[in-house]
């Protein structure tokens, strides 16, 4: 039983990382109406930056996280401007292929800079572990910080979207880009802002992910990226609580699946969930139904 | 002049191109072209080239003709590869069939059939989705196939075929061992058979496109709602394109698998699906001939430019982005239209 | 193809019990369309309510009304793009309940779209051939293996497509890319494509939109010609009142999803309810 609870806690920890990544996916999908395939690789870049700043330059962990956030925000905005903005009117097929190209570009540039050899990422979290049931169950500091960060991000983002003018602009662009533009909302800068927020979150997620699962290589981000997209779809794309719910559920399903069903089939179980969700409820658990206009 | 132009734009030219390339390679292989000797590494690339051509053409049927982005094409290839390898080993064990050509043909048919069944099973749920969702679900299926293949074990014992899930202790000669894959295969693929498969693929795809069924498939791509309004069964024709594409990929997989002595499921990762997509995009989405040329060049080039090895995937990534920007961005196209006025396309932008 | 030269100018309109009016000449045959108490609700909003209409075998009928009155929604209901939440639709006497767009088309209903939906990357002829999909058929394997059925089918499709294109004198455009045609030609091609499915009822959604007066006159003549040549019924949505009053035998006026008037052109023009719907209520005093 205690075993089960510690799996559950691990699942919530992993799920919190997925939720943070899923948030970035979800916001970009909701506002720019595109699947930013390169989002997962921004996570990887963030982790590498934090790694370099703390290990090579020797700055404290917080500076590493800050540097990762800054670099990733700039990277996100640059990617959007260079690769996605010219394709606003293009078909979704064209945009998706471009995003896949961008994902590969980031992975391969990372491979040139940092080589393909996996790096051992030292945990940047110096938070004490929590020991329960007389030491039978241990909740690591990493898990605690991840869950805490997740809660803080969700709350502040919800406030930002609902209470600020920029948040309102974002919702406007997400509902109807053309109408928002006519109302004087600067669509381009709103989309840029979305990419900036999403990428900053990706940087944080990268640091948290690698603090828990310490293997860092150029392909580190792609699997969590795809799974986070799954989480975003699961919860209902475009919805902040949906990303939270989807991420947590997916993390728990993955850890429990690996523990009780089969280690090899862990990923297959996660993707199986995605397929079932899309078939049964294509708009996700908390998504809105959209009618196609004829 | 007009006749030449019409010939060059027609399907006959595509066939001619493939046949001539094949004959030239055969001449070079038999040393009949003086002063030209085909290097060993290039000779080793001949069957893979045929494989990738078939993969690219078949993916183009899904992406270009049917208009659905599939990111799991390598999954069908792997299913075909291992079905082909198992079929070949079983034929050898059960019937002592020594004739390699017959075995290869039967193995390719088996690979195509099993991949086709996988295509039907995957297609039923996948084709109900659209756009990005469809793409991500095909990706998911590709990964699931790979995951499941890592847990399967096959062996042949006389004429009996044994399968197990996560249990390597099987009677007889184990031919496929989960994560270690298929080891010690008899390599029976030949360039000539590869060429035959390419021609077969071209006949299937080009004839399908220029028929009633092919027009229905393209109509759904252009406007699903209009296609339904004229009574076209959307699910049926999407399925037709998807499954045909899967069957061809399975056959290509069998050819590929039986060309190697060791094959693991890891060879058919998501990267492989993307590689084939690069061929399709670079050759021109919807252009069969473009797919053939791109698949050939991009298979040969890395061998020629060995020193660029590290940069290969990087270059692919840049090519992918640049091609998409050039072909889809109105502002960039306009910019080049001004520099190269004679190359602007007529009429294509009316909508 | 035989062209009948029947004149319809002497048509007398006869009221059918409670559902509308149909030309006297069609009274002997079963109506092509009977819609009874048709309605659809979108999240509590009644987009169309209690819609009753009968269309005679060879009638040209008009569906008019202010913007947002629910005209295109009626088309979407009739073609089963939307499933009605109330009422029944009988097409050639058969209930279409539970059918989808494809089955409705096979039952004899074809349409054009307000915002043109051609197969833009394909040629004009291929667009028509796609319309012939269920008329001149052969299987996938005949196509791949180029069996005799393929050659026979292709020849038949080509001839029929050219025949159909000749209605609008568009044979010369057969090889052009459909998406590159001028606007008016695209609208005409949509009509040809719909006709290719051999319908008994043709729905035209704003066929004259974006056309100049000369083109509209030509279109009016052509719509009448199509009816005479194919002996089919036509229901059209149109804002051009010259066209509607000029060729429609029965007119149905929709406002806020409800039918507010039915009748002949002159009846509709004098109906105070219709005038009010279009121009607003006149201020008394």
What is the full DSSP assignment across chain A?
A: -HHHHHHHHHHHHHHHHHHHHHHHHHHHHHHH-S--TTHHHHHHHHHHHHHHIIIII---HHHHHHHHHHHHHHHHHHHIIIIIGGGTTS-HHHHHHHHHHHHHHHHHHHHHHH-SSPEEPPP------EEETTTTEEE-HHHHHHHHHHHHHHHHHHHHHHHSHHHHHHHHHHH-HHHHHHTT--HHHHHHHHHHHHHHHHHHHHHHHHHHS-EE-TTTTHHHHHHHHHHHHHH-TT-HHHHHHHHHHHHHHHHHHHHHT-STTHHHHHHHHHHHHHHH-TT-SSPPP-PPP-
- Sign of dihedral through CA atoms B14, B19, B22, B28? negative
Q: Could you tell me whether strands C60-64 and C250-255 are parallel, antiparallel, or unpaired per DSSP bridges? A: parallel
Convert the pLDDT of each residue in C17-28 to its tens digit: 556 677 878 777
Closest by CA to C138, choosing from C157, C153, C155, is C153
- Sign of dihedral through CA atoms C216, C220, C222, C226? positive
What is the full DSSP assignment across C101-121?
A: HHHHHHTTEEE--SS----TT
Where residue B255 falls (left for φ over 0; alpha for ψ -120 to 50; beta otherwise) is alpha
Instruction: Give me the residues paired with residue C252 across strands.
Output: C63, C262
Q: Which residue has the tokens 């037709």?
A: B240
The kind and range of the H/E element at B157 are strand B152-157
Q: Which residue has the tokens 């003018």?
A: A165
Convert the pLDDT of each residue in A219-237 to its tens digit: 888 889 888 988 888 888 8
- Chain C residues with beta carbon closer than 8 angstroms to that of A291: 42
Tell me which residue in A83, A265, A278 faces B147 most closely, judged by beta carbons: A265
- Chain B residues with beta carbon closer than 8 angstroms to that of A104: 274, 313-314, 316-317, 320
Binned at pLDDT 50, 70 and 90, residue B340 comes out as low
Chain A, nearest residue to C113 by Cα: A294
CB of C177 within 8 Å of any CB in chain B? yes
Least confident window among A113-127, B59-73, B138-152? A113-127
Tell me which residue in B137, B179, B324 faces A97 most closely, judged by beta carbons: B324
Convert the pLDDT of each residue in A29-71 to its tens digit: 888 888 888 999 999 999 999 999 988 888 888 899 999 999 9
In the DSSP assignment, the letter for residue B10 is: S
Convert the pLDDT of each residue in C219-271 to its tens digit: 999 999 999 999 999 999 999 999 999 999 999 999 999 999 998 888 888 88
Closest CA of chain C from B205, distance in Å: 8
Would you say residue B338 has pLDDT above 80? no
* Residue of B343 and A257 predicted with greater confidence: A257
Closest CA of chain B from A129, distance in Å: 34
Q: Could you tell me whether strands C258-263 and C20-23 are parallel, antiparallel, or unpaired per DSSP bridges? A: unpaired
- Chain A residues with beta carbon closer than 8 angstroms to that of B328: 86-87, 90-91, 94, 98
Distance CA C28, CA C49 (A): 29
Q: What is the mean pLDDT of chain C?
A: 89
Chain B, nearest residue to C80 by Cα: B229
- C-beta atoms of C72 and A291 within 8 A: no
Chain A, nearest residue to B148 by Cα: A265
Q: What is the pLDDT of residue C279?
A: 72
Of the residues C83, C123, C125, C133, the best mutation for testing chain B's interface (the one with the most B CB atoms within 10 Å of its CB) is: C133
Convert the pLDDT of each residue in A242-252 to its tens digit: 899 999 999 99
Q: What is the mean pLDDT of chain B?
A: 87
- C-beta atoms of B313 and A268 within 8 A: no
- Sign of dihedral through CA atoms C264, C267, C272, C276? positive
Would you say residue C2 has pLDDT above 70? no
Distance CA B132, CA C182 (A): 32
- C-beta atoms of C143 and B203 within 8 A: no
Q: What is the pLDDT of residue A75?
A: 96
- Chain B residues with beta carbon closer than 8 angstroms to that of C80: none
CB of C187 within 8 Å of any CB in chain B? no
Convert the pLDDT of each residue in A151-186 to its tens digit: 999 999 989 988 998 888 888 888 888 888 888 888
Q: What is the pLDDT of residue A60?
A: 87
Architecture of B2-339 per CATH?
Orthogonal Bundle (1.10)
Would you say residue B230 has pLDDT above 50? yes
CB of C210 within 8 Å of any CB in chain B? no
- Phi first, then psi: give them for residue B154, nearest 5 degrees: -125, 145
Would you say residue A125 has pLDDT above 70? yes
CB of C133 within 8 Å of any CB in chain B? yes
Distance CA B244, CA B60 (A): 11
- Chain B residues with beta carbon closer than 8 angstroms to that of C137: 212
Would you say residue B274 has pLDDT above 90? no
In the DSSP assignment, the letter for residue C123 is: B
Q: What is the pLDDT of residue B350?
A: 31
Mean pLDDT over C184-204 rounds to: 95
- Chain A residues with beta carbon closer than 8 angstroms to that of C72: 294
- Chain A residues with beta carbon closer than 8 angstroms to that of B144: 267-268, 271-272
Binned at pLDDT 50, 70 and 90, residue B346 comes out as very low
Tell me which residue in C117, C126, C197 faces B223 most closely, judged by beta carbons: C117
Closest CA of chain C from A82, distance in Å: 28
- C-beta atoms of B131 and A94 within 8 A: no
Q: What is the pLDDT of residue B131?
A: 76
Binned at pLDDT 50, 70 and 90, residue B349 comes out as very low
Closest CA of chain B from A140, distance in Å: 30
Closest CA of chain C from A87, distance in Å: 20
Structure token digits, residue A236:
């209902």
Q: Could you tell me whether strands C201-205 and C233-237 are parallel, antiparallel, or unpaired per DSSP bridges? A: parallel
Check if the beta carbon of residue C227 is closer than 8 Å to that of residue C167. no
CB of C76 within 8 Å of any CB in chain A? yes
- C-beta atoms of A294 and C42 within 8 A: no
Convert the pLDDT of each residue in B144-189 to its tens digit: 999 899 889 999 888 888 888 888 888 888 889 888 888 888 889 9
- C-beta atoms of B143 and A112 within 8 A: no
Closest by CA to C227, choosing from C71, C56, C112, is C56
Q: What is the mean pLDDT of chain A?
A: 87
Would you say residue C3 has pLDDT above 50? no
Closest CA of chain B from C175, distance in Å: 13
Q: Could you tell me whether strands C250-255 and C258-263 are parallel, antiparallel, or unpaired per DSSP bridges? A: antiparallel
Q: Is C87 helix (H, G, I), strand (E, B) or coil?
A: strand
CB of A116 within 8 Å of any CB in chain B? no
Q: What is the pLDDT of residue C67?
A: 86
How long a stretch of residues is chain A? 294
Instruction: Give me the residues paired with residue A130 across strands.
Output: A139
**Chain B: residues touching C (Cβ < 8 Å):** 203-204, 207-208, 210-216, 218-219, 221-223, 225-234, 240, 346-348, 350-351
CB of A98 within 8 Å of any CB in chain B? yes
- C-beta atoms of C72 and A294 within 8 A: yes
Angle, vertex CA C204, rays to CA C202 and CA C208, nearest 5: 145
Closest CA of chain B from C223, distance in Å: 19
How long a stretch of residues is chain C? 285
Chain B, nearest residue to A279 by Cα: B125
CB of C82 within 8 Å of any CB in chain B? no
- Chain B residues with beta carbon closer than 8 angstroms to that of C180: 346-348, 350
Mean pLDDT over C129-142 rounds to: 93
Check if the beta carbon of residue C51 is closer than 8 Å to that of residue C38. yes
Q: What is the pLDDT of residue B255?
A: 97
Q: What is the pLDDT of residue C23?
A: 80
Tell me which residue in C145, C157, C197 faces B230 most closely, judged by beta carbons: C197
- Phi first, then psi: give them for residue B207, nearest 5 degrees: -70, -35
Closest by CA to A287, choosing from A251, A227, A243, A226, is A243
Convert the pLDDT of each residue in C45-99 to its tens digit: 889 999 999 999 999 999 999 888 899 999 999 999 999 999 999 999 899 999 9
Would you say residue A241 has pLDDT above 70? yes
Q: In chain C, positions 181-220, which contact chain A (CB-CB < 8 Å)?
A: none
Binned at pLDDT 50, 70 and 90, residue B319 comes out as confident
> What is the edge-to-edge ordering of all strands in the sheet holding C250-255?
C109-111, C201-205, C233-237, C60-64, C250-255, C258-263
- C-beta atoms of B324 and A98 within 8 A: yes
Check if the beta carbon of residue C236 is closer than 8 Å to that of residue C217. no
Distance CA A132, CA C118 (A): 67
* Residue of B207 and C42 predicted with greater confidence: B207
CB of C114 within 8 Å of any CB in chain A? no
How long a stretch of residues is chain B? 351
Tell me which residue in A86, A101, A112 faces B310 most closely, judged by beta carbons: A112
Check if the beta carbon of residue C129 is closer than 8 Å to that of residue C156. no
Instruction: Please give the torsion angle defined by the CA atoms of residues B144, B145, B151 and B156, in that order, rounded to the nearest 10 degrees.
Output: 170
Closest CA of chain B from C166, distance in Å: 20
Q: Which residue has the tokens 């390598």?
A: B74
Number of B to C CB contacts under 8 A, please give it: 113
Tell me which residue in C105, C144, C181 faces B229 most closely, judged by beta carbons: C105
Looking at chain A, which subunits does it touch, using at least 3 CB pairs closer than 8 Å as the criterion?
A: B, C
CB of A129 within 8 Å of any CB in chain B? no
pLDDT > 90: what percent of chain A?
A: 35
Would you say residue C4 has pLDDT above 80? no
Structure token digits, residue C241:
């009142």
Distance CA B158, CA B94 (A): 5
- Chain B residues with beta carbon closer than 8 angstroms to that of C118: 222-223, 226
Would you say residue B202 has pLDDT above 90? yes
Would you say residue A140 has pLDDT above 90? no
Q: In chain A, positions 224-243, which contact chain B (CB-CB < 8 Å)?
A: 226, 229-230, 233
| CA distances to A78, A237, A274, B12 from A169, in Å | 21, 18, 31, 55
Binned at pLDDT 50, 70 and 90, residue B305 comes out as low
Binned at pLDDT 50, 70 and 90, residue A291 comes out as low
H helices of chain C, where? 71-78, 101-106, 124-131, 140-145, 148-165, 183-196, 213-230, 241-247, 265-270, 272-279
């Amino acid at each position: 039983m205690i075993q089960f609870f510690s799996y559950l806690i691990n699942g919530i920890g992993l799920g919190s990382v997925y939720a943070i990544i899923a948030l970035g996916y979800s916001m970009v999908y909701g506002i720019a109406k595109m699947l930013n395939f390169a989002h997962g690789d921004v996570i990887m870049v963030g982790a590498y930056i934090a790694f370099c700043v703390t290990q090579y330059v020797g700055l404290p962990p917080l500076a590493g996280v800050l540097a990762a956030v800054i670099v990733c925000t700039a990277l996100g905005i640059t990617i959007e401007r260079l690769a996605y903005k010219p394709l606003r009117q293009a078909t979704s097929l064209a945009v998706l292929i471009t995003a896949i190209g961008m994902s590969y570009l980031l992975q391969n540039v990372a491979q040139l800079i940092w080589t393909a050899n996996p790096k051992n990422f030292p945990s940047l979290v110096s938070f004490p572990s929590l020991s329960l049931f007389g030491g039978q169950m241990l909740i690591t500091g990493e898990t605690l910080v991840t869950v805490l960060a997740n809660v803080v991000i969700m709350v502040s983002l919800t406030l930002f979207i609902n209470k600020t003018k920029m948040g309102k602009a974002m919702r406007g662009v997400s509902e109807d880009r053309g109408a928002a533009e006519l109302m004087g909302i600067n669509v381009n800068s709103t989309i840029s802002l979305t990419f900036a927020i999403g990428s900053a979150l990706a940087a944080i997620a990268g640091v948290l992910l690698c603090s828990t699962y310490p293997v860092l290589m150029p392909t580190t981000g792609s699997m969590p990226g795809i799974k986070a997209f799954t989480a975003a779809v699961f919860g209902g794309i475009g919805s902040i609580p949906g990303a939270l719910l989807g991420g947590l559920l997916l993390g728990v399903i993955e850890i429990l699946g690996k523990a009780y069903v089969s280690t090899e089939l862990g990923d297959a179980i996660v993707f199986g969930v995605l397929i079932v969700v899309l078939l049964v409820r294509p708009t996700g658990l908390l998504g809105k139904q959209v009618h196609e206009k004829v | 002049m007009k006749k030449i132009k019409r010939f060059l734009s027609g399907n006959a030219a595509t066939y001619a191109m493939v046949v001539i390339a094949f004959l030239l390679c055969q001449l070079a292989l038999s040393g009949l072209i003086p002063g030209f000797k085909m290097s060993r590494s290039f000779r080793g690339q001949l069957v893979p080239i045929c494989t990738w051509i078939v993969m690219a053409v078949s993916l183009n049927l899904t992406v270009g003709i049917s208009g659905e982005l599939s990111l799991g094409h390598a999954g069908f290839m792997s299913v075909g590869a291992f079905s082909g390898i198992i079929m070949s080993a079983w034929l050898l064990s059960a019937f002592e069939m020594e004739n390699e050509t017959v075995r290869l043909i039967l193995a390719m048919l088996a690979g195509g059939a099993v991949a086709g069944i996988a295509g039907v099973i995957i297609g039923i749920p996948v084709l109900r989705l659209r756009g990005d969702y469809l793409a991500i679900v095909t990706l998911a299926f590709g990964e699931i196939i790979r995951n499941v293949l890592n847990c399967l074990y096959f062996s042949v014992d006389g004429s009996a075929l044994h399968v197990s899930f996560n249990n390597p202790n099987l009677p007889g000669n184990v031919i496929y061992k989960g994560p270690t894959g298929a080891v010690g295969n008899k390599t029976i693929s030949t360039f000539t058979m590869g060429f035959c498969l390419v021609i077969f693929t071209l006949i299937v795809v080009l004839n399908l496109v220029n028929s009633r069924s092919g027009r229905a498939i393209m109509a759904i791509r252009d406007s699903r709602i209009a296609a339904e309004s004229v009574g076209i069964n959307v699910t049926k024709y999407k399925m037709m394109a998807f499954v045909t594409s899967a069957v061809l990929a399975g056959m290509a997989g069998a050819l590929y698998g039986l060309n190697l002595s060791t094959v693991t499921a890891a060879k058919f990762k998501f990267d492989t699906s993307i590689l084939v997509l690069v061929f399709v995009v670079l050759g021109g989405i919807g252009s069969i001939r473009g797919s053939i040329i791109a698949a050939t060049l991009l298979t040969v080039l890395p061998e020629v430019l060995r020193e660029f090895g590290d940069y290969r995937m990087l270059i692919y990534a840049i090519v992918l982005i640049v091609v998409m920007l050039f072909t889809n961005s109105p502002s960039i196209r306009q910019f080049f239209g001004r520099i190269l006025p004679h190359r602007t396309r007529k009429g294509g932008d009316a909508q | 193809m035989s062209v009948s030269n029947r004149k319809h100018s002497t048509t007398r309109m006869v009221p059918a019990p409670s559902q509308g009016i149909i030309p006297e000449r069609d009274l002997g045959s079963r109506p092509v369309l009977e819609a009874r108490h048709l309605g659809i609700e979108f999240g509590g909003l009644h987009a169309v309510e209690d819609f009753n209409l009968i269309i005679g075998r060879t009638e040209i009928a008009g569906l008019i009304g202010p913007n947002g009155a629910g005209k295109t929604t009626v088309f979407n209901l009739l073609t089963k793009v939307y499933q009605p939440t109330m009422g029944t639709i009988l097409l050639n006497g058969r209930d279409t309940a539970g059918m989808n767009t494809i089955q409705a088309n096979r039952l004899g209903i074809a349409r054009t779209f307000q915002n043109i939906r051609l197969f833009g990357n394909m040629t004009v002829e291929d667009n028509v051939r796609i319309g012939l999909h269920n008329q001149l058929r052969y299987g996938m394997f005949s196509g791949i293996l180029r069996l005799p059925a393929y050659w026979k089918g292709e020849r038949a499709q080509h001839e029929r497509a050219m025949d159909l294109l000749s209605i609008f004198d568009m044979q010369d455009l057969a090889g052009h890319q459909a998406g590159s045609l001028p606007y008016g030609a695209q609208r005409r091609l949509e009509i040809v494509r719909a006709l290719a499915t051999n319908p008994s009822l043709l729905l035209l959604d704003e066929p004259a939109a974006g056309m100049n007066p000369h083109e509209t006159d030509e279109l009016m003549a052509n719509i009448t010609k199509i009816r005479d040549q194919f002996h089919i019924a036509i229901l059209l949505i149109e804002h051009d009142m010259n066209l509607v009053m000029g060729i429609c035998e029965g007119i149905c006026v929709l406002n806020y999803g409800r039918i507010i008037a039915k009748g002949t052109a002159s009846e509709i023009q004098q109906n105070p309810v219709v005038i009010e719907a279009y121009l607003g209520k006149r201020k008394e005093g």
